[in-house]
Amino acid sequence: MKRFAVVMLLGWIGMVAGGSQAGGLPVPEFRDLFNGKDLTGWINVNTAEDTWRVKDGILVCSGQPIGVMRSQKQYENFVLHVEWMHTEPGGNSGMFVWSGARPNPGNRLPDGVEVQMLELEWPNLHKRDGVTPPLAYVHGELFGVGGVKTIPNNPRGERSMSVENRCKGRGEWNTYDVVAVDGVIKLSVNGKFVNGISGSTQKKGYICLESEGAEIHFRNIRIMELPPGVTAPNQAAPELD
């Protein structure tokens, strides 16, 4: 049933994005979440002034200190497109969606559902030189953090891991497409849906980009907002000033 619902949703998105309109409702369309010029629309939560900068249309994160930058507004149901590239071996970063954007004093990171972006010098995480990469490091993992609970599609403990490792290594661009609707998230990595979670206890909040120790680049961050659902107050992150 969940698979059927996602297929129907994606079909509907394709229809409205193509210009169809029903009942006079506005047609959802992609808009830039990062304009390629400056940090308009983003708020630095707990990183340094020079952690985030724009160069040649690219959003560059230095990785220092650990922390996040959040979207100016909250999002509930949406399709998010983002391209990212690590520049250092072993780079670790990600996004938090449906986040309250309030850092945990212990690790400086907020709650929400993390969409992991990882580089471990294992091309596509295949066996290399007779050595198998550690299971703990899987591109495109999804998991709730900071008290947010989720049901993993492909369990690795409380996390959900991709059924196919499709990410490219450092110095190469990766594409994530995230479909987030009513507590369900589906993740496409470089053109194929390979992971998902459901039953998120928080399903409205901010989008945060993560600084986690290594330089990472972002570009072409675009979002399509979808119609809202029935979200109780305790399922939404508090609004920040």
Domain range for residue 52? 30-228
Is residue 240 one of the residues assigned to a domain? no
Looking at the chain, the whole-number percentage of residues with pLDDT higher than 70 is: 83
**Residue 2 binned pLDDT confidence (cut-offs 50, 70, 90):** very low
**Given CA atoms 9, 32, 219, 161 in this order, what sign does their dihedral have?**
negative
pLDDT digits (tens, 9 = 90+) for 177-233: 999 999 999 999 999 999 999 999 999 999 999 999 999 999 999 999 999 999 999
Is residue 4 one of the residues assigned to a domain? no
CATH number at residue 175: 2.60.120.560
Is residue 101 one of the residues assigned to a domain? yes
pLDDT beyond 90 at 165:
no
Distance, CA of 2 to CA of 62 (rounded, Å):
39
pLDDT beyond 90 at 30:
yes
Average pLDDT, the chain: 88
Beta carbons within 10 angstroms of residue 8's beta carbon: 10
**pLDDT value at residue 8:** 47
> Which three-class secondary structure state does DSSP give residue 3?
helix
**pLDDT value at residue 127:** 53
Is residue 57 one of the residues assigned to a domain? yes
pLDDT digits (tens, 9 = 90+) for 86-138: 998 888 999 999 999 999 999 999 999 999 998 865 544 455 556 665 555 56
Q: Which amino acid is at 163?
A: V
pLDDT digits (tens, 9 = 90+) for 48-91: 999 999 999 999 999 999 999 999 999 999 999 999 999 988 88
CB 220 within 8 A of CB 58: no
**Residue 164 binned pLDDT confidence (cut-offs 50, 70, 90):** confident
Question: Cα(first)–Cα(last) distance of the chain, in Å?
Answer: 39
Is residue 53 one of the residues assigned to a domain? yes
Is residue 76 one of the residues assigned to a domain? yes
Beta carbons within 10 angstroms of residue 155's beta carbon: 11
Is residue 11 one of the residues assigned to a domain? no
Distance, CA of 206 to CA of 34 (rounded, Å):
14
Distance, CA of 218 to CA of 202 (rounded, Å):
25
Is residue 13 one of the residues assigned to a domain? no
- For the chain, the domain total comes to 1
